[in-house]
Structure 1
Amino acid sequence: MRVTLLGTGDTTGTPTVGCDCDTCEAARARGVERTRFSVHLENERTDESLLIDFSPDFRYQFLREDVPLPDAAVVTHIHFDHLDGLGNVFRVIDELDVYAADETDPETGKSVAETVESDYHYLDPVTVHPTTPLEPVRICGLDVTLAPVTHPPLVCYGLAIEDPETGAKLSISGDTSYDVPEESRAVLDDPDLLLADAIVPAHLCEFHPIGGHHENDEGVPRTFGTKHMTREGALELAAELNADRTRLVHLAHYYPAEEAFEEPLAIDGEQYDL
């Protein structure tokens, strides 16, 4: 399968609108972007495409990367930067199967699937498929498993996507703290490629109103606040999952300019053949 990173940024992306910080200026000078998060997969065997999350930058991302429009999609959670691009399929896609978790979120009283269906009820091409976490489902010829992660206050899911014929595996951490449940770690384990949420480097935790959490033995915080991993936390998770290759995503423009484009921080447009 071919994996294209359509969007590797956080809620505001990099460059951020109206921002002249050193990192945003450096991104402009380099001609690189981190738009809001989204991942595109092509299954060459079946000639089908799968989209992970609907970035608000959907239209621009597909025009820029010139990848096929999706035959199906998965929504990991209902934050706007992962869902609000769904409206872009209007008059663009004739039929689209959208998979999302069927577990009720105590915060909203609805599952992710129910929220997608109710909020986008006007989109006739969309058929929502409530999906049980930790149970694989075949989508576009690939085995996709939702893995619950910790992203308070809303439920959120990582993903394992495997090609049943080649054994190639992509794992996506989802928006999460370092506190990924053991059963989900087992699902995400041993990927050829891991896309891990790493919103900022650990040294910036001092600027978060509640600081950092899940410190390692050296006292380095692996979670920034409560919702996202630090760079250091994401790399530790990658090592624990025995990832063959790791790219850090969902990156904020708060990375200092001298660190913002170092390996293994991803930028939009990267492609990987698994």
Structure 2
Amino acid sequence: MRVTLLGTGDTTGTPTVGCDCETCETARDRGLERTRFSVHVENERLGESLLIDFSPDFRTQFLREEVPLPDAAVVTHIHFDHLDGLGNAFRVFDSLDVYAADETDPKTGESVAQTVASNYDYLDLLSVHPTTPLESVRVCGFDLTLVPVEHPPLVCYGVSIEDPETGGKLSITGDTSYGIPDRSRAVLADPDLLLADAIVPAHLCEYHPIGGRHLDDDGVPRTFGTKHMTREGALSLAEELNADRTRLVHAAHFYPADEAFEDPLALDGETYTL
């Protein structure tokens, strides 16, 4: 299993358009990027690949990294920075299988799969596969499982991807607070590589209108507001999941410049073989 981090940033990416903060200027000076979130997973044994989420930066990411176009894809939730890149499939693919959860979202009245199918009904090449969370499906030779996480007000899912031949395992938290249900944690546990949402360091929670949540024993917030984990929350989760290696993704440009590019914060283009 070869994993390429196509996009490791949050909804605006780093550097952010029109921003001259020290972090964005440092990224420009050093030629570093965190585009909107997306992960490419290649099964080199079968010559097939899987895409997790359709970043609006799809075209740039695939041209830059020169990875194969995916044979199948997953949509974790319907926020634009994870879905709107699907329009790039027009005239690029002959066909594409897209997997998304079949649970009805009380906020929208339809499942993620239904939203994808209705929003992109003009793409005849798409085959949308409604997928039941916590039930494994075989995709590109991998065992793929969607797991519910906490990203209000919409439903959202993390992803476990296992190679049944080699035992390699990738876990992706999805966009989530630290309040991931126990049944989802059990599926995500013991990965060779964990990609964990970590939008900002915990000390920035004081700037959120509702502060931080899910405090640890030292009073450090593991959730920023309601939707995303802090850096400290993501690292706590990694320890609890017994992750062999952890990279922090969905990072915002609000990280101070002297912290923004330090391990284990990920950058676009990183590759891992599991």
- With structure 2 as the length reference, what TM-score do the two structures score? 1.00
1:45 shift after superposition: 1.0
Q: Deviations over 1:211-257 (max 9, x none)?
A: 00000010000000000000000000000000000000000000000
* Matched residue SS, 1:257: coil
* Matched residue SS, 2:54: coil
Q: Partner residue of 2:14?
A: 14
Which amino acid is 1:140 matched to?
Answer: C
After superposition, the CA RMSD in angstroms is 0.3
Q: Partner residue of 1:168?
A: 168
Q: 1:168-247, aligned counterparts within 5 Å?
A: 168-247=168-247
Which amino acid is 1:38 matched to?
Answer: S
Query: Could you tell me how far apart the structure 1 residues matched to 2:8 and 2:216 are?
Result: 26
Unaligned runs of 5+ in 2: none
Q: Partner residue of 1:139?
A: 139
1:124 shift after superposition: 1.1
* Matched residue SS, 1:113: helix
Q: 1:90-105, aligned counterparts within 5 Å?
A: 90-105=90-105
Establish whether residue 269 from structure 1 lines up as the match of residue 251 from structure 2.
no
Q: Partner residue of 2:123?
A: 123
Query: Could you tell me how far apart the structure 1 residues matched to 2:65 and 2:89 are?
Result: 17
Query: Could you tell me how far apart the structure 2 residues matched to 1:71 and 1:124 are?
Result: 16
Query: Could you tell me how far apart the structure 2 residues matched to 1:63 and 1:125 are?
Result: 22
1:262 shift after superposition: 0.5
Query: Could you tell me how far apart the structure 2 residues matched to 1:41 and 1:152 are?
Result: 27
1:132 shift after superposition: 0.2
Q: Partner residue of 1:65?
A: 65
Q: Deviations over 1:63-117 (max 9, x none)?
A: 0000000100000000000000000010001110000000000000000000000
* Matched residue SS, 1:84: helix
Q: Partner residue of 1:250?
A: 250
Spell out structure 1 runs of 4+ moving beyond 2 A: none
1:47 shift after superposition: 0.3
* Matched residue SS, 1:143: strand
Q: Partner residue of 2:56?
A: 56
Query: Could you tell me how far apart the structure 1 residues matched to 2:130 and 2:228 are?
Result: 25
Query: Could you tell me how far apart the structure 1 residues matched to 2:119 and 2:57 are?
Result: 18
Establish whether residue 88 from structure 1 lines up as the match of residue 103 from structure 2.
no
Query: Could you tell me how far apart the structure 2 residues matched to 1:97 and 1:252 are?
Result: 30
Q: Partner residue of 1:157?
A: 157
Q: Deviations over 1:190-210 (max 9, x none)?
A: 000000000000000000000
Query: Could you tell me how far apart the structure 1 residues matched to 2:148 and 2:73 are?
Result: 18
Q: How many correspondences in the alignment?
A: 274
1:258 shift after superposition: 0.3
Query: Could you tell me how far apart the structure 2 residues matched to 1:201 and 1:120 are?
Result: 36
Query: Could you tell me how far apart the structure 2 residues matched to 1:164 and 1:245 are?
Result: 20
Query: Could you tell me how far apart the structure 2 residues matched to 1:34 and 1:124 are?
Result: 31
* Matched residue SS, 1:187: helix
Which amino acid is 2:149 matched to?
Answer: V
Which amino acid is 2:86 matched to?
Answer: L
Query: Could you tell me how far apart the structure 2 residues matched to 1:45 and 1:96 are?
Result: 20
Q: 1:23-38, aligned counterparts within 5 Å?
A: 23-38=23-38
